[in-house]
Amino acid sequence: MSRRKIRNYIRLTTSYITLVILAIGAIYPALWIVFGSLRPGTSLYSKSLLPERLTLEHYYGLFNSRTILYGQWYMNTFKVAIFSMLLGVTLTLLTSYAVSRFRFKGRQNALSVILVLGMFPGFMSMIAIFLLLKEMQLLDTHLALILVYAAGAPLGLTLIAKGFFDTIPRSLDEAARIDGASNFRIFISIILPLSKPILTYLALLQFVGPWVDFIFARLILRSKDKWTVAVGMWDMVQANQNSNFTMFAAGAVLIAVPITILFMFMQRLLVDGLTSGASKG
């Protein structure tokens, strides 16, 4: 009996040691960037993780620099994110509601087309979109980014939203239909209120997209004052590699912290939403 106890004790101790090592590995880069942003000087490396003196100068620097228009970029990204979110989520809801609730000819094919198109390497079509936007005189505008992000949303997100709508019992809409509700009415007053979790999920994904996309934004936005944060950060690493690491770190913290918090919040919502049945609530 005691041998078993000892073995159990050893098992738990090694498990805890492994977990501690993994946890350090998981959060070390995050801590390093946070402390890096608070460290005086510009250097990438310091012997200790904790700086000897804390400073906010890099955060001030971001907003008072002539070459780094961080505040401007932040506002640009915010604008693009809000509008692409509103438009993209609306489009996604329309498509997913239609394919989840209605049976019409070619529906299975429509679903397969959505799936297949969604897998095409995005920037293969970039050149064509670039030329299209050039024809429409939309290059170097935020409207172009908003249109493209929003138009792409249904491809990536419809199947996810459809999966959610499928779990809302049909009996609810049928009851409403008997009471004489129109399709629009059913969508607005039954489906939407029950879809809060998936709505939040779609909205956040569509909001975060512009914050982290730099490939397309870099192609479309030519003038520096129109850039989004992602393009600016990418440029900081490319242009002056490592020469001003602490400023980069401060910029990274300002993007990463809100998104990370949103993301952790979103996961709880999603899990809650997907596990609780609609009939109950």
Residues 102-131 that bind other proteins (CB under 8 A): 102, 104, 107, 110-112, 115-117, 119-121, 123-129, 131
Number of residues that bind other proteins (CB under 8 A): 89
Q: 221 or 252: whose CB is closer to other proteins?
A: 252
Alpha-carbon distance of 136 to 140, in angstroms, equals: 12
**Please, are residues 207 and 82 in contact by the beta-carbon 8 Å criterion?**
yes
Residues 255-274 that bind other proteins (CB under 8 A): 255-256, 259-260, 263-264, 267
Binding flag, residue 4, other proteins (CB under 8 A):
no
Nearest-5° Cα angle at 162, 158 to 165: 140
Shortest distance, CB of residue 21 to other proteins, whole angstroms?
Answer: 11
Q: How far is the CB of 114 from other proteins (least distance, A)?
A: 8
Residues in region 182-241 near other proteins by CB under 8 A: 182-184, 208, 211-212, 214-215, 219, 230, 233-234, 237
Q: Phi and psi dihedrals of 99, rounded to 5? A: -80, -20
Task: Give the Cα separation of 27 and 201 in Å (integer).
Answer: 25
Q: Specify the residue, 194 or 208, whose C-beta has the smaller distance to other proteins.
A: 208
Judge contact between 134 and 126, C-beta under 8 A.
no
Tokens of 136: 């429409």
98 binds other proteins (CB under 8 A): yes
User: Is the distance from CB of 88 to CB of 149 less than 8 angstroms?
Assistant: yes
Per CB under 8 A, contacts with other proteins among 149-168 are 150-152, 154-155, 163, 166-167
Helices 142-167 & 70-101 angle (0-180, nearest 10):
40
Q: Which stretch, 19-27, 55-63, 188-196, 199-207, contacts other proteins (CB under 8 A)?
A: 19-27
* Phi, psi dihedral angles at 39 (to 5 degrees): -90, 135
60 binds other proteins (CB under 8 A): no
Residue 50 DSSP SS3? coil
Please identify which residue in 1, 2, 25, 109 interacts with other proteins, judged by CB under 8 A. 25
State the nearest-atom distance from the C-beta of 224 to other proteins, in Å: 18
Reduced to 3 states (helix: H, G, I; strand: E, B; else coil), residue 67 is coil
